[in-house]
């Protein structure tokens, strides 16, 4: 595979690409800058990617922040919702045509979006997606993860209606020992430090379900499912609300200023 790592940290991204090349002896690994907290950066990344004239068989949406204090992206969105959800929403939509051109009847292109078990306690506030009325780091994070599940199911509905050879699935990686926990309180950090070896997955273990969703022959042509530990799992009841999926999609199109392909589909 030709692997393109998109991220907002130039040094970390290039170092990751270097390590992968070294370990796999695959030279087709590169880093491109993409800050999902910036609509401008996302559009620039897509331009760079399309200029390479590469097919796109697998898109893994895997960036995120967690429990950050109340703050906004450069476009004025609440950071959890803007980065975790809207950034991936815009990126996927801008790459959708390339995905459709890359997928075939026997080898569908795949979109894998990483959510979290936190989505089970999430509530989608359509009248206050930016958490302006009352801000809670936990509530904002959970809402962004629920939005990703709703987005995935709506995307699969639209892809199916369009007859596209692209599937969209959502993944729960489990509790993974990464830098995502940098914003938790000091007491939680201490508990994490003491128990990570027992309860937390390593990054490699956390990536396994995303990899399964990306390459498993068992999932060829299968979309619109929630995966945990490489198993199909039921997401929260609210995520299956098709009217909620549709309304979130329409509102997201307005926020990111793209045309609503879903307006032509019930």
Give the domain CATH number at 215: 3.40.50.720
Q: Under 8 Å CB-to-CB from 7, ≥6 apart: which residues?
A: 13, 16, 31, 33, 34, 63
Q: Under 8 Å CB-to-CB from 55, ≥6 apart: which residues?
A: 98, 101, 102
Angle between helix axes 87-102 and 39-51 (nearest 10 degrees) is 20
Mean pLDDT of the 7-26 span: 95
Q: What pLDDT is attached to residue 165? A: 98
Mean pLDDT of the 18-43 span: 97
**pLDDT tens column, 48-70:** 999 999 999 999 999 888 888 89
Mean pLDDT of the 92-104 span: 98
Overall size of the chain counted in residues:
266
Q: Is residue 188 part of a domain?
A: yes
Q: Is residue 246 part of a domain?
A: no
Q: Is residue 47 part of a domain?
A: no
Return the residue matching tokens 């995502």: 180
Q: How many folded domains does the chain comprise?
A: 1
Q: Is residue 24 part of a domain?
A: no
Q: Residue 220, CB half-sphere, CA atoms under 13 Å: how many?
A: 7
Q: Is residue 34 part of a domain?
A: no
Q: How confident is the model at residue 266 (pLDDT cuts 50, 70, 90)?
A: low
pLDDT at 21 > cutoff 60: yes
With a pLDDT cut of 90, the percent of the chain lying above it is: 79
SS3 58: strand
Lowest mean pLDDT across 111-125, 214-228, 250-264: 250-264
Lowest mean pLDDT across 29-38, 78-87, 117-126, 198-207: 198-207
Q: Is residue 39 part of a domain?
A: no
Q: What pLDDT is attached to residue 204? A: 79
With a pLDDT cut of 70, the percent of the chain lying above it is: 87
Q: Which residues are catalytic?
A: 141
Note down the domain range covering 107.
Answer: 56-241
Q: Under 8 Å CB-to-CB from 6, ≥6 apart: which residues?
A: 13, 31, 32, 33, 34, 45
Mean pLDDT of the 79-106 span: 97
Report the phi/psi class of residue 77: left, alpha or beta, with left for phi > 0 and alpha for psi in -120 to 50: beta
Lowest mean pLDDT across 21-25, 106-110, 171-175, 198-202: 198-202
Q: What pLDDT is attached to residue 159? A: 98
**pLDDT tens column, 152-210:** 999 999 999 999 999 999 999 866 445 544 544 444 443 434 444 345 658 777 789 99
Q: Is residue 247 part of a domain?
A: no
Mean pLDDT rounded to a whole number for the chain: 90
Which is nearest to 115 in space by CA: 152, 87, 140, 155? 152
Q: What pLDDT is attached to residue 260? A: 92
Q: What pLDDT is attached to residue 63? A: 86
Considering only residues 200 and 240, tell me which one the structure prediction assigns the higher pLDDT: 240
Running DSSP on this structure, what letter comes out for residue 240?
A: G
pLDDT at 124 > cutoff 60: yes
Q: Is residue 260 part of a domain?
A: no
CA end-to-end span of the chain, whole Å? 36
Return the residue matching tokens 């399964």: 212
């Amino acid at each position: 595979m030709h692997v393109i790592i998109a991220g907002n940290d130039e040094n970390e991204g290039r170092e990751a690409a270097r390590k992968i090349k070294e370990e796999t002896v695959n030279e087709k690994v590169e880093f491109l800058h993409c800050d999902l907290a910036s609509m401008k950066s996302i559009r620039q990344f897509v331009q760079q990617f399309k200029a390479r004239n590469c097919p796109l068989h697998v898109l893994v949406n895997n960036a995120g922040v967690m429990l950050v204090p109340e703050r906004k992206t450069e476009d004025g969105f609440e950071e959890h919702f803007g980065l975790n959800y809207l950034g991936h929403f815009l990126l996927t939509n801008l790459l959708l045509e390339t995905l459709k051109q890359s997928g075939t009847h026997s080898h569908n292109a795949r979109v894998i979006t990483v959510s979290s078990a936190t989505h089970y306690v999430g509530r989608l506030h359509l009248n206050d997606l930016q958490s302006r009325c009352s801000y809670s780091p936990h509530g904002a994070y959970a809402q962004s993860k629920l939005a990703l599940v709703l987005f995935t199911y709506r995307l699969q509905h639209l892809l199916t209606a369009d007859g596209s050879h692209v599937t969209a699935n959502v993944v729960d990686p489990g509790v993974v020992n990464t830098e995502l926990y940098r914003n938790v309180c000091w007491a939680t950090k201490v508990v994490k430090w003491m128990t990570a070896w027992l309860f937390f997955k390593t990054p490699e273990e956390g990536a396994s379900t995303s990899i399964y969703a990306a390459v498993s022959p068992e999932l060829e042509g299968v979309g619109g499912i929630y995966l945990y530990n490489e198993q199909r799992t039921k997401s929260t009841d609210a995520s299956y609300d098709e009217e909620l999926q549709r309304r979130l999609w329409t509102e997201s199109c307005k926020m990111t200023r793209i045309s609503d392909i879903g307006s032509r589909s019930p």
